[in-house]
Amino acid sequence: MNIGSIQFRDRPLFLAPMEDVTDASFRFVCKEFGADMMYTEFVSSDGLIRDARKSLAKMLTYDYEAPVGIQIYGNIPEAMVDAAKMAEKAPDIVGGHGADLIDINFGCPVNKIARRGAGSGMMKEPDKMVEITKMVVDAVSLPVTVKTRLGWDEDSKIIVELAERLQDAGIQALTVHGRTRSQMYKGEADWTLIGKIKENPRMHIPIIGNGDIDSPEKAKEYFDRYGVDGIMIGRATYGHPWIFREIRHYLDTGELLPQMSVTERVALAKRHLAKSIEVKGEKVGVLEMRRHLSAYFKGLPDFKETRLKLVTLSDPDELYRTLDYVGERWG
């Protein structure tokens, strides 16, 4: 499949953008394990046009991440256009690789975003969603894609018709999370409407399915059952970025890889920590790694005391020594 001029192998795997998770260091390890496409954490259009430091910093990407998309969100058309233009010029603004495409977030369900009409809040205003999309497409030369949900609630699952309208507005790929906004992340993702989008003879852009993909077997089943062009994986990558390698191996061979050993996870945690410090500096790099370090070792017996160290230590050398201990004790 292709998105604009970006070429992908058959059945590509995408890393979902997740706030406070998919920063540059996490994207680094996901790319290492075979993620075909990645995105920045979502960037506020209002924050960009106000020159908010945090929003600008999120646009920084690196050559090793390519292809990578900068994802923006907001509900003011003019601000979204300005943000898209800034994302397109990210190398001039913040340096780095920049964006290979611009993705519009019409899917985030959290209250502080959706309740003010951004993210999945746009599912209540499909006309405005299409208007913003068309304005962004017309404003930039990069491919524009959209990520959204089935609808606002059970009584307003508008995605099949909306997919056509977004395609007509000029997007070059569509990612659909198989839940409504009202579901948040509860219940089981329903991919049947994603399959109906693929069955629509008018649709010609790639359709990427998202929601509840947490194993190689499920990834293959959903590729086969719903005919999607790609699959996006979000929460299942947290503490488990090697899921991309596991799924790819299963898709290619039909065989499951052995579970990743504690020793291998320790080595990964060290690489991830080093990259986080390199990208963000020692203080912030350590602070923002804590959630990942504990997640890498979820389920180990008698781990409470060691986990507490991983989420409270601030000295990198002490963290590396603690990780060595994890390898010695549980490896």
Domain spans, the chain: 2-253, 262-330
Q: SS3 for the chain, per residue?
A: CEECCEECCCCCEEECCCCCCCCHHHHHHHHHCCCCEEECCCEEHHHHHCCCHHHHHHCCCCHHHCCEEEEEECCCHHHHHHHHHHHHCHHHHCCCCCCCEEEEEECCCCHHHHCCCCHHHHHHCHHHHHHHHHHHHHHCCCCEEEEEECECCCCCECHHHHHHHHHHCCCCCEEEECCCCCCCCCCCCCCHHHHHHHHCCCCCCCEEEECCCCCHHHHHHHHHHHCCCEEEECHHHCCCCCHHHHHHHHHHHCCCCCCCCHHHHHHHHHHHHHHHHHHHCHHHHHHCCHHHHHHCCCCCCCCHHHHHHHCCCCCHHHHHHHHHHHHHHHC
CATH of domain 262-330: 1.10.1200.80
pLDDT in tens, the chain (331 residues): 999 999 999 999 999 999 889 999 999 999 999 999 999 999 989 888 787 888 899 999 999 999 999 999 999 999 999 999 999 999 999 999 999 999 999 988 887 788 778 888 899 999 999 999 999 999 999 999 999 999 999 889 999 999 999 999 999 999 999 999 988 888 899 999 999 999 999 999 999 999 999 999 999 999 999 999 999 999 999 999 999 999 999 999 999 999 999 999 999 999 999 999 999 999 999 999 998 998 999 999 999 999 999 999 999 999 999 999 999 999 8
Q: Is 108 a catalytic residue?
A: yes
Rounded Cα distance, 51 and 94, in Å: 11
Contact 198, 227 (CB under 8 A): yes
Measured in whole angstroms, the distance separating CA 308 from the mean position of its chain's CA atoms is 28
pTM: 0.95
* Residue of 3, 108, 160, 207 marked active site: 108
| Residues 76, 84, 142, 35, CA torsion sign | negative
Amino acid in the structure at residue 125:
E
Domain 2-253 CATH superfamily = Aldolase class I (3.20.20.70)
